[in-house]
A and B are shown apart, each in its own frame.
Chain A
Amino acid sequence: TVMAAPVTNDQSWFFALALGVSFLKCLLINAYHSTDFEVHRNWLALTHSLPAAQWYYEATSEWTLDYPPLFAWFEYGLSHIARFFDKEMLVVQNLNYASPATILFQRLSVIVADVVFFYAVKECCKCLREDKGKDLLGKPSFILTVLLLWNFGLLIVDHIHFQYNGFLFGVLLLSIARHFQNRHFEGALLFSILLNLKHIYLYIAPAYGIYLLRCFCFTQSNADGSLQWRSFSVVRLVTLGTIVLSTFSVSFGPFIALGQLPQVLSRLFPFKRGLCHAYWAPNIWALYNIADKAFSILGVKFKLLDINKLPKASMTGGLVQEFQHSVLPSVSPLATLICTVLSILPALFRIWHRPNGARGFLRCLVICALGSFMFGWHVHEKAILMAILPLSLLAVESREDARIFLILSITGHYSLFPLLFTTQVAHQNISHVAIYNLHIGNVILHLFFRKGGALLNPLEATYLLGLIPLELICEFVYPLTVWQKTFPFLPLMLTSVYCALGVTYAFIRLYISLLTCSDSTKKIKTQ
C-alpha cells in the first residue's frame, strides 16, 4: 500500500519516465554528432539569412535543403531562438561551425521538440485497451511509454547522431492516436503536415489513403465487414481533400507561385544515389547483394566466370555507394518501386476488404513502412524506426505482436550499430549507453508478458542470441585478423545480412498476422 501512492497517482510515472529520458538526453549533449548536425545548422543559417525564394537554390554547403517547406519553416522559427545563443551559427558561410553554444542550442532544440513526442505517446496510451492491473508492470500504457520514450533508435539517431525524428514521430503517433479516437479530420491534417515536414513518410501514405477512404468516407460496413457501396459520403471525402490540399498549398504554394516547384522536387527526390546506402540497411537488397557476391565467388572458384570480366567494385563493395552486381541482374529504381508496391498491395487490399478498425490500419501502416524498408531504393537503416515505433502500440496488446516486435526491434536496432561503431574510439562509450538502453525495452516487454511462457520460440531466441557472438566477432576478433586490411567491409556486411534475415522474418510474420488477425480479434470481441 505504501508503494501504491506514486502508482495510483495517475500519470506521475509518465512524467517520471519522460523527465528521466530527458536527463539522459542532456547527458549526451556533448556526445559525438554526425554530419547531420552540420546539415541542420546549415539549414538554420540559410532559412535565417536568405529569403524563402532562395532556400532551395542555395548551395554554398554541400548539405542543401532537401526537406519539404514546412520543415524549412520550422528551422526558420528555430533560428530566431538560435540568435540568442550564438549569431555566428546563422551565417551560411560558416561551414562546420560548432561552437559550444551552437551545440547546446541544437541539442536542446531536439530535446525540447521531443515534447511533441511525449504528448503523442500520452495520447497513444489512452487508445490502449487498458486492463486494470494494480501493478505498474501490468499496465500496457506503462510498457508502451517505456518502449516509445526510451526507444534505443531514437536516442541514437536524434540525440547522438542528430536529427529531429522524435518530433516528427510525435506528429505521426499523434495522428495515429487521433484515428484511434475517431477524430479523423485531425488525424488527416496531422499526417498531411507530417508529409510536408519530411517526405519519407510518403511510404506510409497508402495506408492512410486506403484507410480513410474505406473506413471514413464509407460510413458503414455490411454485417460481415465487407464494403457497403451506398454509404459513401461525398462531404467527408471533399472535407478530407480540402484539408490535405490546403496543407500542401500552404507549404508548397509559395514555391509554386515562384515557379520553383521542379527545383524543389529535384531537391526532395534525388535519384542519383545507389541502390543501397553506404552501410547496407538490413533489407532484401542486402540479401540480394550477398547472394550476388556468393555466386560470383563460387563462379570464379568453379571457373564458370572470368574474374577479369567482373566489375571491380564488387570485390571491395559495401562501402562504395554504387554497387555493381556481377551475376544477378542489376536493380533499377523502377524495379524497387514495383517491388515495394507489390509488397504492400496485399495489405492494402486486405484493409480495403476487411478493415478491422484502427488496429487494422495501424498494422497496415507498419507493413507499408516495413515493405518500403525491405524493397525501397537507397534505404537508410534508420528508416526501420518508422516500422518499429508504431509497432510498439500493437506489441503491448498481444503476445504474437510482442514476439514480432522483439525480433524486429532487436535486429533493426542492432543494424543501427554501425552508425555508432564506425566513429572514433572516443565515443564507444556512447554506443554502450545505447546498448543498455536497448535491453531496457526487452526486459520490460518480457516482464509484461511474463505469464504464459516464453515469448520467443527456441529458434528465434537462438537467432537473437546469435547477435552476441556476431557482435564480438565483428568488433573484437575480426580487427585482429589479417582480413581486416583486405576486406574491411566484411563485418558490416555480416551484420546487415544477419539482421536482414530477422527483419525479413518479422515482415513475413507480420503479414501472416494481418491476413489472419481479423478473425481472432472478432473472437475476442464476441467472447
Chain B
Amino acid sequence: MENWSLFSLCVLLGLTSRWAVSFHSYSGAGKPPMFGDYEAQRHWQEVTYNLPVHEWYFNTTNNDLNYWGLDYPPLTAYHSLVCAYVAKLLNPEWVELHASRGYESHSHKLFMRATVLFTDILIYIPAVLLYCFYFCDGSSKQKVATALCILLYPGLILIDYGHFQYNSVSLGLALWGILGLGLGWDLFGSLAFTLALNYKQMELYHSLPFFCYLLGKCIKQGLTRRGFFQLAKISLTVLVTFALCWMPFLSDPKQPLQVLHRLFPFGRGLFEDKVANTWCSLNVLIKIKTLLSRETQLFLSFALTLLFILPSSLKLLSKPNLWQFKLALVNSSLAFFLFSFQVHEKSILLAAFYCTHLGFCLFLRLMFFLFVFFHSMLPLLVKDGLLLPYVVTSLAFLFLSLYLLSALERSTEEELRLGLYRKLTQRWLPKLNLSRIIKWKFWFSLVAMAVLSFTSVWLEPPAKFPDLFPVLVSILSFLHFLGFIIYFNLVQLMEPQRKKSQKKTN
C-alpha cells in the first residue's frame, strides 16, 4: 500500500505540473492564417469527422492538403475521429467543415488539453509506473524517485501540454512494447509497438532495435524448432495488427500508396528550420541543399543512418538482452535524428526520452543529454510563447534529478564507467581522471547553454546574421549529440555483460 501511495504522489505531482503548463499558450495561438500544431490537430478532427475515410489523405475540394493535411498514420486519424465525436457532442462549431478553420476559444483549448491529459492518463502514465516498478534497480524508494523523474520530464510535458501534440500516445505505446518485451510477453510487446508505429511514423526510429531483439531471441531459441514457431507468431501478430489498422485503406491500391506518400514527404527537402542534426549544421559550411541533387541527398542520409545503426543492431542481434535493447533504442533514435532525411526538431524527443528510461546509472551523461535536447528546442518554445514554463520546468527537473538521484549516481557510477573508461584511458591516456573531466564538462555545457538561452531570448542578433543565435544553438547541440552517439555506441559495443542486467533478463 505504501508503494502505491508513493506512486500516486508521483502521479499527482506529474498531473500538477502538466496542468500547470497547460494553461499557457500553444503553438500558433492567434496567428492566422496557418496557426500551428494545435490547429493541425483540430483540423484533423474536422476532416476525419466530416469526410469519408477514402478522402482523408487525398487532396479534394473539401480537403485541402496544403492546410495541415493529414500526414500521420491511420491510428492518429482514428484518434482524431474519436475526439471529433466528443467535440461534436460538446460544441458542433469546433468541428464544422470549413467554417471551423482557425477556431480558437478558451473552452476549446480546455477540451483539447483534456484530450491530451486523457490519453496521457490512459496510456503513458500507467506504462511509466509499471516500467519503474518492474525494471528499475534498487529499493522501492528509488523506483518511486525514478518514476517521478520520468513523469516530470519537461520535454514531453512542454511539447504535449504547451506546444500541443499527442506524443504521450506513441511514446506510451512504445513503452508498453518495451514492457512487453522485458516481461517476456513478446506478442503483447510487438502488438503495442506496432500500434505505436501506426500512431506516429517517427516510431520507425525504434523499429530496428525491436526487430533485432525479437529476431535475436528467436535465433537464440533455435530457428529450426521453437524459435521459428515464435517468430511466426510474432510476425503474424504484427501483420494482423497492421492489417487491422489499415483496413479501411486496403480496398483500393491507390489508397495505401497515397497514405505512404503523405507519411514520408520526401519532397520537403533534407531539413527544415534549424534542427540540431548533421545536415543543418553542415549547411553552415557547405550548402548541401543546393549542391547535391535530391536523390543524392536521400542516398547519403540513408547510407549514413544505416552506418550508424548497424553496429548497435548487430550487437543486439547477437546478444538480445534488455540492457542491450535499451542502448540500441537510444543509438538508433540518435542516428535517425542526426542523419536521416527530413528531421523535425521534436524527434529528438524520442531519443532523449529513451535515455531517461535507461535507468539513471549513466546519470551525469543523461542529465547532460536531456539538457542538450532541451536546448535544441528552445527556439521552438520561444516562438510558442512558452519561455516561462520552459525555464521553470527545466530548472525544476535539473534540481529534482540532482537531488533525488545524486545518491544513486555514486553507487552505480563506478560500476558502469569503469568498464568502459578503464579500457579507454589505459590504452591512450593512462593518467587522465575522466570522471572529473566529465563533471567539468557537464557544468561547462550547462553554463554555455544558459548563456546561449539568455542571449537568444534577450539580445538582438547582429543585423548581418539574423539567424546567428538559433544557428549557434543548433550547432552546439549538434556537437553534443554527435558526442553522445559515439559515447553510447562505445558503451554498447564495449560494455561487458553486466551482472545485474543478466539477472534481469533471465
Q: How far is the CA of A440 from the CA of B8 in the complex (A)?
A: 9
**Are the CB atoms of B110 and A27 closer together than 8 Å?**
no
Q: Is A307 an interface residue (CB 8 A)?
A: no
Query: Which residues from A are CB-within-8-Å of B6?
Result: 447
Question: Known contacts being A27-B389, A450-B1, is A430 close to B19, with CB within 8 Å?
Answer: yes
Question: Mask for A325-368, Cβ within 8 A of B = 1, else 0?
Answer: 00000000000000000000000000000000000000000000
Among the stretches A16-24, A295-303, A390-398, the one at the interface with B is A16-24
Q: Is B400 an interface residue (CB 8 A)?
A: yes
Among the stretches B21-29, B69-77, B234-242, B257-265, the one at the interface with A is B21-29
Question: Known contacts being A29-B388, A425-B107, A446-B5, is A2 close to B403, with CB within 8 Å?
Answer: no
Question: Mask for A111-148, Cβ within 8 A of B = 1, else 0?
Answer: 00000000000000000000000000100000000000
Among the stretches B40-48, B209-217, B391-399, the one at the interface with A is B391-399
Q: Is B407 an interface residue (CB 8 A)?
A: yes
Question: Mask for A226-249, Cβ within 8 A of B = 1, else 0?
Answer: 000000000000000000000000
Q: How large is the interface on B (under 10, 10 to 19, 20 to 34, 35 or more residues)?
A: 35 or more
**Are the CB atoms of A3 and B139 closer together than 8 Å?**
yes
Give residues of chain B (376-414) contacting chain A, Cβ–Cβ below 8 Å.
Answer: 388-389, 392-393, 395-396, 399-400, 403-404, 406-408, 410-411
Question: Mask for A442-474, Cβ within 8 A of B = 1, else 0?
Answer: 011011001000000000000000000000000
Q: Is B2 an interface residue (CB 8 A)?
A: yes
Question: Known contacts being A2-B411, A16-B403, is A425 close to B110, with CB within 8 Å?
Answer: yes
Chain A residues within 8 Å of chain B by Cβ, number: 36
Query: Which residues from B are CB-within-8-Å of A24?
Result: 16-17, 20
**Are the CB atoms of A433 and B20 closer together than 8 Å?**
yes
Q: Is A6 an interface residue (CB 8 A)?
A: yes
Q: Is B106 an interface residue (CB 8 A)?
A: yes
Q: Which listed residue, B5, B9, B23, B406, touches A427 by the CB 8 Å rule?
A: B23
Query: Which residues from B are CB-within-8-Å of A439?
Result: 12
Query: Which residues from A are CB-within-8-Å of B22?
Result: 429
Query: Which residues from A are CB-within-8-Å of B142?
Result: 2-3
Q: Is B422 an interface residue (CB 8 A)?
A: no
Q: How far is the CA of A12 from the CA of B407 in the complex (A)?
A: 13
Query: Which residues from B are CB-within-8-Å of A433?
Result: 16, 19-20
Q: How far is the CA of A29 from the CA of B410 in the complex (A)?
A: 36
Question: Whole-angstrom distance from the CB of B159 to the nearest CB of chain A?
Answer: 16
Return the chain B residue nearest A430 by Cβ. B23
Query: Which residues from A are CB-within-8-Å of B16?
Result: 24, 433, 436-437, 440
**Are the CB atoms of B392 and A20 closer together than 8 Å?**
no
Q: Which listed residue, B1, B15, B141, B392, touches A3 by the CB 8 Å rule?
A: B141
Question: Whole-angstrom distance from the CB of A476 to the nearest CB of chain B?
Answer: 12
Q: Is B113 an interface residue (CB 8 A)?
A: yes
**Are the CB atoms of A432 and B388 closer together than 8 Å?**
no
Query: Which residues from B are CB-within-8-Å of A427?
Result: 23
Query: Which residues from A are CB-within-8-Å of B109?
Result: 426
Q: How far is the CA of A485 from the CA of B13 in the complex (A)?
A: 37
Q: Is A5 an interface residue (CB 8 A)?
A: yes
Q: A429-B19, A436-B13, A443-B12 are in contact. List 8 more A-B contacts (CB 8 A).
A: A2-B408, A27-B20, A31-B23, A137-B2, A425-B107, A430-B19, A430-B20, A436-B16
| A residues with CB within 8 A of B | 2-6, 12, 16, 19-20, 23-24, 26-31, 137, 424-430, 432-433, 436-437, 439-440, 443-444, 446-447, 450
List 28 interface pairs A-B (beta carbons < 8 Å), by A numbering.
Answer: A2-B139, A2-B407, A3-B138, A3-B142, A4-B407, A5-B407, A6-B404, A16-B399, A20-B396, A23-B399, A24-B20, A27-B17, A27-B20, A27-B21, A27-B389, A27-B393, A30-B23, A30-B388, A425-B110, A426-B106, A427-B23, A428-B110, A430-B19, A436-B16, A440-B12, A444-B9, A446-B5, A447-B2
A-B CB proximity, top 10 nearest: A426-B106, A5-B407, A23-B396, A27-B20, A436-B16, A429-B23, A26-B392, A425-B106, A433-B19, A425-B107
